[in-house]
Structure 1
């Protein structure tokens, strides 16, 4: 055990839902004292930076109940049990936007909220987009509006808090960095 590790003494599942499971863990702290941790278990997710031929980001505007508002995001979705992230990214891109891609590259993976959740998100760059006529249908409880934004427009959306989630801000800043690196 390293000097920061918390040893789980007991864990209990409090809730199991369609997307998440909530567990309560009793832990022993590095100093020998005990504490409780509420942990959200999540199967993981993907997010897609989808770029059109004219270098616009394909985005979805979606109502987020937890926020009680709509925000504009990059396409994303939850991994199904046993599903590879790249397969999930292709599926979610088609379901949410109607686009399929020629090229799909993993950019990065990161934990969204490690203080209380094990959710990991895999961010992909999709290029060579083609709009599919008979695209896979969205989930029955999912409703989105499509938007295609230039980097400048996306940066303005961040300022206006229309883009307000970490994965999408990450995507916008990733593209901004790539642009800066190629113009040097």
Structure 2
């Protein structure tokens, strides 16, 4: 018997308690490996992308915006949710241009990861975008952002002070720093 089989939780029942525009929340009753049952609260999400845009002069393009769940403004890389059936790269291109006005000549998938697998199935795809050209941003009508260009040191300082605090941006920041260190030899 494999580890996956020994640890598997079989779903006995599932009830959707919220079905919104961005997420669906359900409560599953599961049969545990020891024969007991438990409830699991699960957030279903279509998936998302984020973009680490790097300018020709070595800066990261980021956005500052208010995040209601945190009740404060933070700095993060451009990101957005996938539309049903949308390819992640298509979404990355759309989100970069909508939020920042930038277009990129090249995209490279940096990583794909689950944002919080303890309760959500959201899969985040993070791209590095290079060969940037500046244009006019077109945020969604309910999205208010300030576009920033940050050096690696400025971004690290914003992380130190807590202005950069979301997982995707922190992961991208460390990947960027690693890339710079690797390029320097």
Q: Tell me the CA shift for residue 139 of structure 1.
A: 1.1
Gaps of 5+ in 2: none
Secondary structure at 2:97's aligned position in 1?
helix
**Which of 126, 131, 146 is the aligned partner of 1:128?**
131
Matches within 5 A, 1:12-23: 12-23=15-26
1:175 paired with 2:176, answer yes
Matches within 5 A, 1:21-100: 21-100=24-103
Structure 2 match to 1:145: 146
Give the CA RMSD over aligned residues: 0.9
* Partner Cα separation in structure 1 for residue 48 and residue 24 of structure 2: 15
Q: Is the 8 A contact 2:139 2:145 kept in 1?
A: no
Deviations 1:2-26 (A, max 9, x none): 1111000000100011100000000
* Partner Cα separation in structure 2 for residue 45 and residue 131 of structure 1: 23
Gaps of 5+ in 1: none
* Partner Cα separation in structure 2 for residue 115 and residue 57 of structure 1: 31
* Partner Cα separation in structure 1 for residue 121 and residue 168 of structure 2: 15
Secondary structure at 2:6's aligned position in 1?
coil
Q: TM-score, normalised by structure 1?
A: 0.97
* Partner Cα separation in structure 1 for residue 105 and residue 173 of structure 2: 21
Q: Tell me the CA shift for residue 33 of structure 1.
A: 0.3
